[in-house]
Structure 1
Amino acid sequence: MSRRAFNIPNMLTYARILAVPLVVLCFFLEGRLQSSDPARWAAVTIFVIASLTDFLDGYLARIWKQTSNIGKMLDPIADKLLVSSVLLLMAADGTIAGWTLWAAIIILCREILVSGLREYLAALKVSVPVTQLAKWKTTIQLVSIGFLLAGPAGDKILPYTTEIGITLLWISAIVTLYTGYDYFRAGLKHIIDE
């Protein structure tokens, strides 16, 4: 394998992917889905560190001129794996329930649709750049998920932690709808009917 595949920015991306099963494992320490306070704080800690690597890997790759094809490919995959798995975990745990499930569904559907659009456009040699609003969307998602992971354990320290997470999740879902539409509109002019 190329040395570029093992540069520090890519290692941070790999670490973010490895964080996914670790966060999930925190909720299954006793062999069943359990959201004890220590498990939630462990999951929050891992998630926050993983989220920071999302900002750090791209930044370091640019300033150190260590961008690579594998990094460009894995970075968005790592983001989607982290967000999707934790949203599903929070739904299974009951932290996200009722109407709030719709916010999670909107986020998951947008991620799948944009990934499919990007894959199709890549075959046409068309790239759709990430917008600044999409970066803010990711930030809001990660912050909301951090609050949701803390959930009831966080409520004991900061009242309304769960409610803050749910509110931010809805804000993220609304921004997600807009950025998804924005990507689709940008990609639509390149879609060719055969």
Structure 2
Amino acid sequence: MKWNVPNILTVLRLLAAPALAVMFLYFTRPYADWFALMLFVSAAITDWFDGYLARSWGQETKLGAMLDPIADKAMVVIALMVIVGFSSWSPWLVLPATVILFREVFVSGLREYLGDTAGTLKVTQLAKWKTALQMTAIAVLFSQGVFEHYLGANIYGMDDAMVQAILTGAEEDVLGLGWKVVAMEWSGRIGLWLLWLAAGLTAVTGWDYLMKAMPYLKEGR
């Protein structure tokens, strides 16, 4: 095994995946949301850097090629698990998350079954866009949790009439409730739109990999 900068970045990204869930075990919200957001964005940035550095420095290795897709999948799967677990289980969130999780498990199973012929399922450019879109959607959804819990902390102890009076302008908005509500709602909407787009690309790339694997799944080979 060759331990170079790109491989170290990949390993750090792999270790960051379970750390996302741990954040919500040992920190209260919104601090957990903040830490998870910063950790996820940092890991997503290293996803680009480790590949770029490996190609630029001529440091592409078998270890990096093996760990890179594993780290990506671990980040996405655990992040979605955390987001769905702390959500209201809306079907608009659960359905695209299910498509993404199913595809990642299915393609990983295909690669494992194909063994030496798994090179047939090399990562395509569309699959790279899929991963980038997944990570963007997840980062936006984590940011919604930040706005939601700061808003909740600000309105704690207020009755509904007072909150409505502030939001309608009848009372002065000294705590910035208005922009926090807007930020919470739009980050949630944009995050869901991006997640549905990512789920669509995920399904398309999964189907593409299945079609490429079909010749190797026929009986008698």
TM value normalised by structure 1: 0.88
Question: Match of 2:216, SS?
Answer: coil
Structure 1 counterpart of 2:102: 109
Structure 1 counterpart of 2:24: 27
Structure 1 counterpart of 2:131: 138
Q: Which residue of the other structure, out of 39, 53, 67, is the alignment partner of 2:46?
A: 53
What amino acid maps onto 1:170 in structure 2? W
TM value normalised by structure 2: 0.78
| Identity in percent | 40
Give the aligned length. 187
Give ranges in structure 2 of 5+ residues lacking alignment.
Answer: 149-179
* Deviation at residue 55 of structure 1 after TM alignment: 1.1
* Deviation at residue 75 of structure 1 after TM alignment: 0.7
* Deviation at residue 21 of structure 1 after TM alignment: 2.6
Please say if 1:176 is aligned against 2:173: no
Give ranges in structure 1 of 5+ residues lacking alignment.
Answer: none
* Deviation at residue 182 of structure 1 after TM alignment: 0.8
In 1, the alpha carbon distance for the partners of 2:49 and 2:83 equals: 26
* Deviation at residue 53 of structure 1 after TM alignment: 1.0
What amino acid maps onto 2:133 in structure 1? I
In 1, the alpha carbon distance for the partners of 2:39 and 2:55 equals: 25
Question: Match of 2:121, SS?
Answer: coil
In 2, the alpha carbon distance for the partners of 1:96 and 1:47 equals: 22
Q: Which residue of the other structure, out of 195, 207, 214, is the alignment partner of 1:188?
A: 214
* Deviation at residue 95 of structure 1 after TM alignment: 6.0
In 1, the alpha carbon distance for the partners of 2:51 and 2:120 equals: 17
Alignment of 1:5-154 (within 5 A): 6-30=3-27, 36-94=29-87, 97-124=90-117, 126-154=119-147
What amino acid maps onto 2:183 in structure 1? L
Task: Note the aligned Cα RMSD (angstroms).
Answer: 1.8
Higher-Rg structure is 2
Structure 2 counterpart of 1:164: 190
